Amino acid sequence: MTKSNAIALSRKLVNLYESLSPPAQVDYLLLNDLSLFLVRSELYNLAFHFTDLLFDTYGHTAGIYYHLIRGQAYQETGRVKAAERCFKAASKQRSALPFAHLGNLYFLQHKIDQYIKTVKQYLAYSRKPDVLKSLFLISLAYETALKPTLAQKTLRILVTLGNQLINLPPSEREILQRAVRKLPRNID
């Protein structure tokens, strides 16, 4: 989006927002959704404005999305330390989502050890059926960090766990097969 298009869109959004009734202007869901929309539209300064309004209105109850949205905006504008602070603040809510964002931030910075630790924290809070995929990603991270022994150990854990699970979804079954192929075969 060009700068002039971004400015025009920002003006339209602000005018639309200001046309709302005062109670609607401070609606929790509206402020969250609008802030997220603005980040995804690369209108970061406006996203900061509406997350500030969210926090000013709801204080500490603004919750996890306040920190996640600000963290995303900071990350996209190259303010990595501020993004990390926001994601860490969101992680205090004991949810998997902040750890996914924090892990991504570490991965993009090539901070492999921190990435692995964060993925493990993600797994501790996640209730999604992607545990094998996460373990596979950890093994790849160990390979990237030139730690083949830890990569192989993680793959063995993945295979052992995967063989014990019943009714694996197709995506997890594929991850299990990839892990088996990556493990060295015992030569008798």
- The string of pLDDT tens digits covering residues 54-72 is 889 888 777 788 899 999 9
Least confident of 49-53, 64-68, 110-114, 162-166: 162-166
pTM of the model: 0.68
Please, which pLDDT band fits residue 129 given cuts at 50, 70 and 90? low
The overall longest dimension of the chain from CA atoms, in Å, is 77
**Average pLDDT rounded to a whole number, residues 148-159:** 82
pLDDT in tens, 95-112: 888 998 898 898 888 888
Residues above pLDDT 70, as percent of the chain: 95
The pLDDT of residue 187? 46
Q: Which of 68, 40, 130 is nearest to 51 (CA)?
A: 68
CA distance 165 to 104: 27
CATH class of the domain defined by 1-93 = mainly alpha
